[in-house]
Each structure stands twice: as structure tokens, then as C-alpha cells.
Amino acid sequence: MKTSCRNLMPILKIVLSVLMFCIMLNQDVFASDITSYTYYRSGSDKNDYYPVPAPCPYNYVRSVYAKDLGVDSLFELTGIFVSDEYVYISSGGTIIITDHDFRTKHVITEISVNGEKQALTKINGLWATKEGELYACEPGKGRILHFNSDWTLKRILGKPEGILLSSDISYEPLKVAVDSVGRIYAAANNVYEGLIEINPDGTFSRYFGVVHVKFTAAQLFWRSLQTEIQRAKSATWLPVNFSNLTIDKDDFVYATVAGSGESEPIRKLNAKGTNILRYPVSTGIKPHGDLYVNKFGAVIKTGESTLTAIDVNKYGIYVVLDTKRNRIFAYDDDGYMLYAFGDAGITEGRFQTPVDIRFMDDDKLIIADRGNMSIEVYKLNDYGSSIHKAVMYQYDSDYRMAAEEWRKVLDYNPSFQYAYVGVGKALYRDGDYKSAQEYFKKGQDIDYYSEAFRKNRHEFFRDKFSIFFAAVVVILLIASSWKIYCKIKLYRSKGAAIK
Amino acid sequence: MNSLIRVIKSVDLDLKENFITFPFYIISRPFKGFSELKYENRGKHYFAYVMMVLMCLFSIMNELYRGFVLSGGYYVENKTVNTPYVILMTLAPVALFVTANWCVTAITDGNGKMIDIFMVYAYAAYPKLLLSIIGLLVSNIVAVDEAAFASFFYSFGSVAFAFYLFIGLIVIHEYTFTKSIIMIILTIAAMSIIVFVIALFLSLSNEVIVFLRTVLKEVTLRL
């Protein structure tokens, strides 16, 4: 008996090790060990949101360095843009054009103006239109360059007539975006009136999406006490500049405002220039990066997130980049936070000085990291792609398919509250109001909860109406008969007294 | 034994009179009701103590069973309530108010004794308790756009409480209207001072304790 056991031991060991290996393989497939979190509401107060760990929606794929692109260096990396075909990278005085696998197709380092060659100075924001025409900002020379689809210079858009700047302040366009009919939107340094909208022919159209100056009553009070000289010496209140912008497929401009503590740092601007970004009304929390931040501290980062880059995909998911804490936040079309990841550091999933962020293909996210002099490529894993698919189905109003994806998301991350709401919506559509109510409750969404609750209440009263009615009748009967009994008793005793 | 029986017998256990008729009499005729409370001994001390217990119970119930909609959309499975904390937060304001009001009125010719102030507080809290119970029940059957119905009961209860407390204090201290208002302001000031002194005491005693502990540690290390 003993010997047979001993003979079995090596086989057992092999089986066990194979099993272990399988488990390890499995883990590798669905989740990465990058730290990520979502916010979880745990308190009746409106601001009781705390980060809870979540699986990271992205797996690290690769870092693309200068040598992979065949250029000298990427230490002046400023912006990236992804079109259907190419990836455009601006670094110092070069624009690198590669395909989606980062094989370099073309490098622009100089332009020819009136027959004479000019080396490019620091290029910042990039934008390529559907036709493949490239726009690039050259803030040092105060102009936006417009290239043909074969990357030869088409025209130069200098400072538009109509922008009033004093002579000692230069016009520096930093970021550019072009909509489907060719209107150019630019965010520029020293222009405080908002984004600059330029007509397709290059003339100035208007300022777009003005950021208003915010001040508190206390500030106003102290300012009223100051003398004229003091006022002249104290810092002027200027509205915060737009830090970055992008345009979605419906020509809405998404822009970020970098001012820390801004109440609406992410804006979706309609044609009129007003902010129409949706946010969950039941909680009233506008998308603004981290909800729970350190307010005081000497060596740690304090205050609200500073958002400096934004990109939106075709079903309304937008990602923003927080350069204060090197984090990336994603929101869906309704303004619910989907995930957050990233931190300062040099390991995978961490960034040193991220400057720009773009979606690539359907499942990739690329981040330009100037500190690391690389372009970091991340790919959605099972968890992340479930979130994205769920949002996509929701965007197309296919709630049943979305619920299936949300259930998968919940398997990975049971503390993802928005997923419960997603499942609840499908249950509500299918008429299962009881379960829907439970799911909405778990998702802590009052509005949807109320809808389901109303249906349940209605059903309850309709079913139990006969019982209520019978109870009321019985109570009335008992009460009236008791009164009659009392009266008879009184009458009898009176009669007895008379006798 | 005999004395105990006498005490028990002396307690007027007419529950209908003490817990329904008289409180409602105060609600309908506050001036008359509160003067009968003081001069004709119609109010009972044990009513006030029972009210305190009921208030504590209600606070706990409120924490536990308030509807999802009214608790600001916060839901958690296996909800836990810190009962001692809730009880403290119910009773501490009573103690604070009664002490502060007594401190103020004792030096401004108020005629109410401390027990009178306490009784007035309890009787004034009665309508608030009833309305809050209704609010608690209603909060479980409303949707979000009807939430105002439930919160109405809560806030109306608070307003009623302030109203009856004010009238009760006027009656038992025999003040004029303006003097009562000054008395209320002074009471609030006194309450803040008491809270401040308590906070100061706590933080200072904490320092002392830390100091003593450090000394003790030093001594034990040197030994």
C-alpha cells in the first residue's frame, strides 16, 4: 500500500504543477496588476465617495521609444493624434507619422515657405482630418500649419485678424481641433476669452466657450477694502485657459480646463458654446477627476485633479489625463466614471510626465510620456472590454446586451456601482421591476430606483386592493356595531334608571 | 417595603391622560397647557424620562429604517448603526440646552426650575416625535419626486418643536416676548460656550494624559 502511494507521488506532483501553471496562465489572461480604482459611495452625505480597488481595465503592451521610431529622441514629446490610418507624434521640431504598429511612415522636420526651407520649431497640438490633412500648432512662431494629405505644406494660419493682444504678449496656439466642415478650434496661451474659432478659409470667426472668472464673497470683500494702488499691485483675476480639446464624431467640442478646483473642468460645447456635458443628476457630481483628494500636505499632491488632455471615442467614452497625479479617468456619455488608473512612477501602469492621451483602434489607449520619452501602449483586457462593450450597447440603447456585459463586469468587480444600474436598466425593460429595484438600490441610483419602486408600489396596491377594501369594510362594521351596542347599553341603563 | 409600595402608588399611572390627553392639550392650547404643567402639576416627571427613551429609540429606528430615497440614495447591505453614538447625539443636546437655559435664566430672574425646563423640552418634543414617526413611515413608500412629502413631516416637526419650546419657556420663566428672545440668544451663546469649554477640556486633558504617559515611559525606560 505504502509503496503504491509513493509511486503515485511524482504523478500527483506533475498534475499539481500543471494545475498551478494553468491557474497562473488564467490570471495572466484577464487582469493586469496595475493599480486601478473606481469610486464607491459609502455614506449618506453627497461627498462620501471613496476609492475602492478595481481590476485594471488595461494591460500594458509596449513602450515605443525614439529608436523604435527611428528618430533622435522623444524628450520634447508634446502631443499625439490618432487617425484611422496613422499615428501622428509631435516631439520638438519634428512631426513623426507612423502606422498603428508604430512603423514610421514619414517625418516632417522642415517646411518650405516661398521656396526657402524653414526648420520647424517646437510643435505642440496635432489634428488630422478625415481626408488625412494635418494641422499642427507651432506656438513659438504663433501659427498653425496646415499640411496636405501627402504632408506637404498647404497653408500657414498666422494670428487671425480680430484677436486683440497687446504688443508685448505673443499669440501662442497650443492645441488644435478641426471639425467635419473644416472649422478650426484652437486653445492658445494668453487668450482668456475662450477657444478661438477660425473659419475654414482662415479668418477669425469668434471666441468659443468662454470660461468665466470665479471669485468668492470673501475675495470680493477683501478687494473692496483695498486701495487703488494695492489693487493694481495684487494679482489680476484671469479666467483659466482651456488646456486641451478634441472633437467627437458629432462635431461637439470636448475641452478640458486645467484650473484646479474648477467646478466644470471637462466641457462638452455645443455650437453655441455652452457646456452640455451630461452628469448623473441623482448624485449631482460633475466629472472632474478624483473625488476624494488630500486637501493639506507638504510632500504629497494636494487639491483637485489638473486635467490637461482629453480624447473621446465613437460611443461617447471620454478619457481625461490628470497631470497632477499622472492618472487617467474614463467616463461614459452620461458622465459616470468607468475607471481610473495610473500613478507617478516608472513601472508599468505608471507615468512620469504624461502629456497626451488618445484612443487607438477599438481597444487600445496610447499615452505620450515625456518623462519616460516614450509612447505607452495599453490594450483593453477582458474586464475593460466588457465595460467598453457595455457602454457601447447602452449608447445604442441595446440594454439587454449591455446588461450581459455589465454582469461580466460585476463578476470581476462586485463593487462597481454603475454596473448594477446597467443590469437594473435591462431588468426594468424586461418588466422584472422587483429585481430591477434591488439592482438600482445596489447601484445607489435614486432616480432609476424610484421608477422601479413606483411600478412595484402600483403592482402591490393593485394586487392587495381587495384585501385593503375588505379590511376597511370590516373595521367600519365593527366600529358602527360597537357604537350601536354602546347606545343600546346607555338606553337600557337610562331605562333602568327611569324605572 | 411599605415605602416602596407608597412610592409606586403615588405614581399616577393614568397613561391615557399623561401620554395622550395632556400632550395633545398642550399642542392645542400651548399657553394654558404649559401653565397647567407648571402651576397645577398636570405634567408628570416620568413622562419626560419616557420621552427621552422614546427619542433615543426613534433616532435608532430613523438611522435603520429611513427610506432609501430620503437617506440621499445611500444603501449598504448589513447596515450597522453606532447605537451609543446615536443615543449620545440625541441626549447631549437635551442636557446642553437644559443646562445652558438654566444658567441663563437663573441670573436673569427666570422663574423656571431646571426640572421645569426639562419638562418643557420633553413636552415640546412630543409633536416632533409624532411627526417624525409619520415621516419615517412615509419615507418608505415614496419615490424621489414625492420625497418632499416625507421630509415635510421631519421639517414641520422641527418647526413645531421650536415653536412649542419657545412658548413653554415664556410661560415657565414668566418673561415678556422681547426678554424671551434675548434669553434664547443668550442660551445659544451659553451652549456654544459650554461646547467650547468641553472641547478645550478634552484637548487639554489629552495633552496632560500624553505628558503623563511619556513621563511614565521615560521613567520605566530608565529604571
pLDDT tens-place string over residues A122-177: 899 999 998 889 999 998 888 899 999 888 888 888 888 877 777 778 888 999 99
Tell me the pLDDT band of A29, cut-offs 50, 70 and 90. Answer: very low
Q: What is Dmax (Cα atoms) for chain B?
A: 73
C-alpha cell at A28: 495572466
Query: Cβ of A44 and B75 within 8 Å?
Result: no
In contact, A456 and A424? CB cutoff 8 Å: no
pLDDT of A31 reads 52
Q: Which residues of A touch B70 (CB under 8 A)?
A: none
Q: Write out pLDDT tens, residues A200-226.
A: 988 888 888 877 777 778 888 888 888
Of A151-160, A338-347, A489-498, B95-104, least confident by mean pLDDT is A489-498
Closest B-chain CA to A454: B143
How high is the pLDDT of residue B163?
95
Convert the pLDDT of each residue in B1-40 to its tens digit.
777 787 777 666 778 888 888 999 999 999 999 999 888 8
For helices B147-173 and B114-139, angle between their N-to-C axes, nearest 10 degrees: 170
Contact B143, B106 (CB under 8 A): no
- Which of A93, A100, A62 has the alpha carbon at shortest distance from A75? A93
Give the per-residue pLDDT at A27. Answer: 45
- The answer to whether A391 and A332 have CB atoms below 8 angstroms apart is yes
As a whole number of angstroms, the distance between CA B120 and CA B1 comes to 33
Architecture of domain A399-499: Alpha Horseshoe (1.25)
pLDDT tens-place string over residues B94-132: 999 999 999 999 888 888 889 999 999 999 999 999 999
More confident residue, A234 or A66: A66
A45 contacts in chain B (CB < 8 Å):
72
Q: Which residues of B153-221 form beta strands (DSSP E)? A: none
Residue whose C-alpha is closest to residue A303's, from A256, A262, A250, A335: A262
pLDDT above 70 coverage of chain B, percent: 99
User: Which amino acid is residue A414, in one-letter code?
Assistant: P
Using CB atoms within 10 Å of the CB of residue A199, give its burial: 0 to 12 exposed, 13 to 18 middle, 19+ buried.
Answer: middle
Report the distance separating Cα A483 and Cα A354, nearest Å: 84
Q: Is the ipTM of this complex over 0.85?
A: no
Angle of the B45-65 helix axis to the B83-106 helix axis, nearest 10 = 140
Q: Which residue of B has its CA nearest to A445?
A: B73
Beta carbons within 8 Å of B43's beta carbon, 6+ residues apart: B22, B36, B37, B119, B123
Residues in CB range of B70: below 8 A, 6 or more apart: B139, B142, B147, B150, B151
Domain spans, chain B: 13-222
> Which of these ranges, A234-243, A461-470, B168-177, B183-192, has the smallest mean pLDDT?
A234-243
Q: Give whole-number Cα distances, A13 to A7, A9, A17, A24, in Å.
A: 11, 6, 6, 16
Q: Which among B74, B75, B143 is the nearest to A453, CB-wise?
A: B143
What number of other Cβ atoms are within 10 A of residue A83's Cβ? 19
A35-380 carries CATH number 2.120.10.30: yes
How many interface pairs between A and B have CB atoms less than 8 angstroms apart?
A: 41
B74 vs A44, A447, A457: nearest CB: A44
Coil, strand or helix: which one is B168? helix
Shortest alpha-carbon distance between residue B73 and chain A (Å): 5
Chain A residue closest to B63 (CA)?
A: A44
For B69, which residue in chain A has the nearest alpha carbon? Answer: A446
Question: Lowest-pLDDT range, A135-139, A493-497, B142-146?
Answer: A493-497
Give contacts of B64 with chain A, Cβ < 8 Å. none
| Chain B residues in contact with A283 (beta carbon < 8 A) | 73
Mean pLDDT of chain A: 86
Q: In this predicted model, which residue has the larger pLDDT, A312 or A258?
A: A312
Please compute Rg for chain B using Cα positions.
22
Show which residues on chain A lie within 8 Å of chain B, measured between beta carbons.
41-46, 48, 282-283, 441-442, 444-447, 449-451, 453-454, 457
Position A260 scores a pLDDT of 59
- Retrieve residue A292's grid coordinates: 476624494
What residues of B are in contact with residue A454 (Cβ under 8 Å)? 143
A9 CB neighbour count, 10 Å cutoff: 9
- The per-residue pLDDT for B193 is 95
pLDDT for A261 equals 65
Which amino acid is it at A424?
A: G
Q: Please write the tens of the pLDDT for every residue from A384-419.
A: 999 999 999 999 988 889 999 999 999 998 889 899
Task: State pLDDT tens for residues A441-481.
Answer: 888 888 889 999 999 999 998 898 889 899 999 999 999 99
Residues of A in contact with B74 (CB under 8 A): 41-44, 48, 444
Higher pLDDT pick, B75 / A394: A394
- Residue type present at position A4: S
Are A329 and A39 contacting, i.e. CB atoms less than 8 angstroms apart? no
Confidence of residue A70 (pLDDT cuts 50, 70, 90): confident
Q: Where are the domains of chain A?
A: 35-380, 399-499
Question: Do residues A261 and A303 lie in contact, with contact meaning Cβ atoms separated by under 8 Å?
Answer: yes
Spatial contact of A369 and A353, defined as CB atoms under 8 Å apart: yes
Residue type, A315: Y
Q: Which residues of A398-422 are buried (b: 16+ CB within 10 A; e: fewer)?
A: ebeebbbbbbbbbebbebbbbbbbb
Please tell me the distance in Å from A449's CA to the nearest CA on chain B.
8
Q: Which residues contact A262 (CB under 8 A, 6 or more apart)?
A: A211, A214, A240, A288, A304
- Look at B143 and A442 and tell me if their CB atoms are within 8 Å: no
- 3-state secondary structure (DSSP) of residue A32: strand
- Dihedral class, residue A142 (left if φ above 0, else alpha if ψ from -120 to 50, else beta): left
Please tell me the predicted confidence (pLDDT) of residue A162.
Answer: 78
Q: Is the Cα dihedral B156, B161, B167, B170 positive or negative? A: negative
Q: Which residue of B has its CA nearest to A448?
A: B144
Strand A374-380 with A364-369, pairing: antiparallel
Q: What percent of chain A has pLDDT over 70?
A: 94
| Better pLDDT: B3 or A86 | A86
Predicted confidence at residue A28, as pLDDT, reads: 43
H or E stretch at A232: helix A228-233
* Chain B nearest-CA residue for A460: B141
